[in-house]
Structure 1
Amino acid sequence: MKTFLIFLVLGTIFFGCAQQNAFDQFQLKPEQELGEDGLQSSKLKNREELVDGVATVVYLNKALPKKYNDAEYFYVYLYKKNKKNKISFFLNGKTTAKIEKLPVKNRFTQLTSFEAPWSSYYLVKFNKIEGDKLNFRVKEGSFSSDVFKYEKDQ
């Protein structure tokens, strides 16, 4: 009887929490959940493993599919120590079709709940990529990010 009671209590606790996830603890809009869920960050490093900044990326086609579906769109914000070098973005080895520098408060701030005056913000557009695997990379002089891997919804 004692063993049955222990299993009953543990089962109730386990199954009572199974319907929740981390987002249940916060008041997030659906697009915020998708933005936070698709958020990836990487340090900008060179070959000597020196760090010059941090890049954070959201794949907008997945976060806002009704609005961003004619090309591949990314929201990027980054912090760089050295602001002299030109920043470049690559998707599956291809260069951008358009880069729009955004103000600190912009139309994507609600996706990430992040806005800092020391960071730079960009809307990056690439021509449509065939296939479902996307490899996004940020380069700045001799520094580059790790590859941000995304999968498209086909």
Structure 2
Amino acid sequence: MRYILTILTFSLLFLGCADKNAFSKFKMQPDQELSAASLQGSKIKIGENVEGIFSAIYLNKVYPNVYSVNEYFYVYLYLKDEKEMYNPNTLDEIKLTMRLNGKLPVKIKKLDAKNKFSHLASVNSEWRRYFLVAFEREDKSEINLVLETDQSSSDALTYQKDEE
């Protein structure tokens, strides 16, 4: 009888803890879940050398009620060499360009490391650069975002648009 009572006690202890694990503490807000599904990244290579990392979140999927007129991306990148992003409003020398289906952006806004989209990215740091980039609305259901430098380009980040 004592053995049965001991086994029953330990069984209840183990069964009582079975539904609690590390994932029960891991809760994401809906916009964070959508951004995790939309996040894509690519290495920027020159030959065999990795020169940086390019990541983007398609904001039209995350916030469809706010970002619907144009195509919007939250972009963050790390480059070994300092280069400036192409700005369509200035005539500066172009060192970095971003293209959506071959077209240049209509607006680029440089953001601080702590910004209103910081919670969407899994990693935020001072040594990355962050941008809000807008392109003209595309009619195609598949869009390709590419970052180009004067010597290389990233792989295309391909996003599927929702049917309207």
The alignment's TM-score, normalised by the length of structure 2, stands at 0.76
CA contact (8 A) 1:72 1:129 kept: yes
* Distance in 1, Cα, partners of 2:99 & 2:68: 18
Deviations 1:24-79 (A, max 9, x none): 76210000000011111100112x22211001110000011111000000010000
Counterpart position of 1:29: 29
RMSD value, Cα: 1.5
Distance 1:91 1:25, change over 3 A: farther
Letter matched to residue 80 of structure 1: L
* Distance in 2, Cα, partners of 1:95 & 1:42: 19
Equivalent of 1:122 in 105, 109, 131: 131
Distance 1:25 1:145, change over 3 A: farther
CA contact (8 A) 2:141 2:160 kept: yes
> Gapped runs of 5+ residues in structure 2?
1-22, 85-94
| SS of match in other structure, 1:144 | coil
Deviations 1:93-119 (A, max 9, x none): 111101100000011111113210000
Considering Cα pairs closer than 8 Å and 6+ residues apart, tell me whether 1 or 2 has the greater RCO.
Answer: 1
CA contact (8 A) 1:133 1:150 kept: yes
* Distance in 2, Cα, partners of 1:108 & 1:56: 13
Structure 1 or 2, whichever has the larger Rg, is 2
Counterpart position of 1:93: 102
Counterpart position of 1:107: 116
Counterpart position of 2:51: 52
Counterpart position of 2:144: 135
CA contact (8 A) 1:52 1:143 kept: no
